[in-house]
Amino acid sequence: MLDSQIVAPSAKPSTLAELLEQTPLHSNILLCVSGSIAAYKALELASMLKKLGAQVAVVMSQSAQKFITPLSFEAITHNKVLCEQSEEWSTMDTSVQKLDSSSSKADRPHSCNHIAYAKWADLCILAPATASSIAKLAHGIADNLLTQTLLATSAPILCAPAMNTAMLESKQTQANLTTLAAMGVQIIEPKSALLACNTQGIGALADVEELVFALLKASKVDRFWLDREVYITGGGASAMLDPVRAITNHSSGLQASALAIALYTLGARVRLISSSFPTPLPRAIEVEQVRSNDDYKQALLRLNKQRKKHSKQRAILLMAAALADFAPKYRATSKIKKSKTTQLHLALEPTQDILASLDSSDFVKVGFKAEDSLEVGLSNARAMLLPRENGGKDCEIVCLNTLDSSPFGASHNAFTLLNRQSLQDSSARTLPHSTKLALSYEIASFIKASLEHLESNA
């Protein structure tokens, strides 16, 4: 096989929208914009949400209009911005209407008033959220259209604060944020940056990607995955030849990152152990960068030891990393000099099979297998489902892909999924070529169904 067939030309999507391609956010999202200099970032958020397939409507406070005009949002969302100047009650119809009777797209509010917009929303996000808007929402003060709309909605509300550090850390603001969190409002923590007041500190609006991840999680969270411990390995391991050279492989880490995003948005507590992180990730995902096979193993054992202190439930391990099957028998202690070596002969020895070595009483093991052909791959994948005493790896599930259809580093992939049932009837589920994130949600669904079946028969 040619190298160009094995390795894709690029391993990194240029935008989050490309990463989320074919993973549509089919929700009515109400974007509430209050008067902060960060209001301009709400335009980027609206644009990204539209690209993901969401229907977006905007409510603006009077102060927000000092920073940006309603026309800018209307050009992006194709919906009328609700503000003091646009609210109308000429019709009392507060239902919603279809954009197109033949379309599956989301609806738009029928009337431009706060009751219609409140009823229309599936999700509401207050971004940016000023200290004033946070205080009013926390205490039910409905003296403007923005807070009136938020008080009238039954949709989940997300709040993304943006303000000066001292204002954010004041006892009043912290108490108000605590009150909102107790009401079920999700607070998207601000980040530390150079603020508009020319000071460095906490209070900047979270990155737009972080806001999108939060909205995805609010729309996709699944009770099965909620707070489950999930460990994911990704990237390619390296085996050192000398202090500057190593034997490694072409694994990009894209599939592992996509799995981490999918399982995070489904509600899991995700730890990603990888040699590379090629995509934007939610801040809540704990990451650890590793290099060698032993690095991966020690990270997993350490996480498992921590988990056992507070939980008896097994962690779900998705072993998507391409670990080294062979390593140099001898490692040079100093750089091997080309000028002093006419030929270099490497003695390689097999490495420990880390997945097989892990105790299945601690981990629900989901193995990943890359093979040259499907026929050989299916046989080897089924072998991974066998108990260790029978030469297997004690995997509950195996995800098989072939290199001819899915080169390393490509943004798309295809899988054949097998579980323990496959050992009895040779069944398998085929996931056709799609984006790695879309496939990650399918893999998560397969894991859920397989484990629920096992638990019901236990």
Active site residue 197: yes
Q: Report how far residue 309's alpha carbon sits from residue 71's, in angstroms, rounded to the nearest whole number.
A: 55
pLDDT tens for residues 78-102?
Answer: 999 999 999 888 776 655 554 444 3
pLDDT of residue 97: 53
Least confident of 212-216, 298-302, 339-343, 422-426: 339-343
d(CA 205, CA 200): 13
Give the mean model confidence (pLDDT) for residues 143-166: 97
pLDDT digits (tens, 9 = 90+) for 360-405: 999 999 999 999 888 889 999 999 999 999 999 999 999 999 887 6
Q: Which of 165, 199, 219 is the last residue of a domain?
A: 219
| Separation between Cα atoms, residue 434 and residue 252, nearest integer Å | 17
> Could you give phi then psi for residue 166, rounded to 5 degrees?
-65, -40
Question: Is residue 120 domain-shared with residue 56, that is, in the same domain?
Answer: yes
Residues 120 and 257 reside in one and the same domain: no
With CA atoms as reference, report the closest residue to 121 among 144, 94, 143: 94
**Average predicted confidence (pLDDT) for the chain:** 90
pLDDT band for position 193 (50/70/90)? confident
Q: Is residue 242 part of a domain?
A: yes
Query: Quick check: is 94 in a domain?
Result: no
Residue 40 and residue 73 in one domain: yes
Confidence of residue 43 (pLDDT cuts 50, 70, 90): very high
Looking at the structure, tell me whether residues 40 and 151 fall in a common domain: yes
**Helix (H), strand (E) at residue 233:** strand 229-234
pLDDT by residue (tens digit) across 159-176? 999 999 999 999 999 999
Number of domains observed in the structure of the chain: 2
pLDDT at 316 (0 to 100): 98
- Note whether 270 and 188 are same-domain residues: no
The residue from 191, 219, 247 where one domain ends is: 219
- Quick check: is 19 in a domain? no
Provide the H-helix boundaries in 386-435.
Answer: 422-425
Is-contact 250 324, C-beta < 8 A? no
CATH of the domain at 49: 3.40.50.1950
CB 153 within 8 A of CB 30: yes
Residue 206 to residue 62: CA distance in whole angstroms: 23
Distance CA 51, CA 58 (A): 16
Both tokens of 416, joined, read: 């054949």
In a domain, 68, yes or no: yes
Kind and range of the H or E element at 131?
Answer: helix 131-138
Say yes or no to pLDDT of 145 above 60: yes
For the residues 231-239, what does the mean pLDDT come to? 96
Residue 255's SS3 state is helix
* 184 located within any domain: yes
pLDDT at residue 111, as a whole number: 87
Domain match, 149 and 235 both: no
How is residue 446 written in tokens?
A: 């397969």
pLDDT(10) > 90: no
Q: Tell me the C-alpha distance between 405 and 415, whole Å.
A: 10
Q: Are residues 240 and 371 in the same domain?
A: yes
Question: Between 404 and 336, whose confidence is greater?
Answer: 336
Per-residue pLDDT at 205: 96
Residue-wise pLDDT for 257-310, tens only, equals: 999 999 999 999 999 999 999 988 999 999 999 999 999 999 999 999 999 999
Distance CA 145, CA 34 (A): 11
29 and 157 both lie in a single domain: yes
pLDDT above 60 (res 8): no
Catalytic residue among 83, 112, 124, 197: 197
In a domain, 421, yes or no: yes
Range of the domain at 81: 24-88+108-219
- Looking up residue 329, the CATH number of its domain turns out to be 3.40.50.10300
- 308 has binding-site annotation: no
Query: 224: which 2 tokens?
Result: 């099965």
- 107 pLDDT higher than 80: no
The predicted model gives 16-23 an average pLDDT of: 66
| Annotated binding residue 368 | yes
Please tell me the distance from the alpha carbon of residue 82 to that of residue 147, in angstroms, as a whole number: 12
Cβ atoms of 152 and 118 closer than 8 Å: yes
Alpha carbon of residue 13 to chain centroid? 14
289 within domain boundaries: yes
Claim to verify: residue 452 and residue 386 sit in the same structural domain: yes
Q: Give the length of the chain.
A: 458
CA angle 18, 264, 276 (to 5 degrees): 60
pLDDT at 199 over 50: yes
Q: How deeply is 99 buried, as exposed, middle or buried, from its count of CB atoms within 10 A (0-12, 13-18, 19+)? A: middle
Phi, psi at 149, each rounded to 5°: -65, -45
The reply to whether 47 and 152 lie within a common domain is yes
Q: Is residue 265 part of a domain?
A: yes
pTM reported for the whole predicted model: 0.91
Residues 182, 448: Cα–Cα separation, whole Å: 30
Boundary-marking domain end, from 187, 219, 251: 219
- Comparing CA positions, the residue from 196, 199, 250, 203 lying closest to residue 408 is 250
Same domain for 41 and 163, yes or no, is yes
Q: Residue 311 — pLDDT band, cuts 50, 70, 90?
A: very high
Q: Within this chain, do residues 293 and 189 fall inside the same structural domain, yes or no?
A: no
Q: Is 372 annotated as a binding residue?
A: no
Q: What is the pLDDT of residue 103?
A: 40
pLDDT above 50 (res 414): yes
